[in-house]
Amino acid sequence: GENVEQHPSTLSVQEGDSAVIKCTYSDSASNYFPWYKQELGKRPQLIIDIRSNVGEKKDQRIAVTLNKTAKHFSLHITETQPEDSAVYFCAAHPGNAGGTSYGKLTFGQGTILTVHP
């Protein structure tokens, strides 16, 4: 089955700096890669995603890049703000999404991001 590794496990930055979180996946057939932000006591919130036919996607201060050859994808947050402090999870969805695997996201272990004012 799929295996997703996420690094670093913790990341501390100063407000205004950039933050980068990296994930690698094992199944070359995976074709959808979402990123979730989870604040303390809250639900995981989908913040950005990318499909395997795209190399980069950007939404305001956040961007995701995908390297299919190396099987890794990264989350980039620019101009970080204290409200970006949260746990971030990457995930991968299988490409063979027939009835037996549709929806079966494999999550990374999470990165605790702290943005200091």
Q: Work out whether 97 is an interface residue with other proteins (CB under 8 A).
A: yes
Q: Give me the sheet containing 19-25, strands edge to edge.
A: 4-7, 19-25, 72-77, 62-67, 56-59
The contacts of residue 71 (CB under 8 Å, 6+ apart) are 24, 25, 26, 28
Closest CB to other proteins among residues 8, 16: 8
At position 76, the amino acid (one-letter code) is H
Closest CB to other proteins among residues 21, 91: 91
**Interface residues for other proteins in 7-66 (CB under 8 A)?**
32, 34, 36, 42-46, 49
Q: Note the residues at the interface with other proteins (CB under 8 A).
A: 32, 34, 36, 42-46, 49, 87, 89, 91, 93, 97, 99-105, 107-110, 112
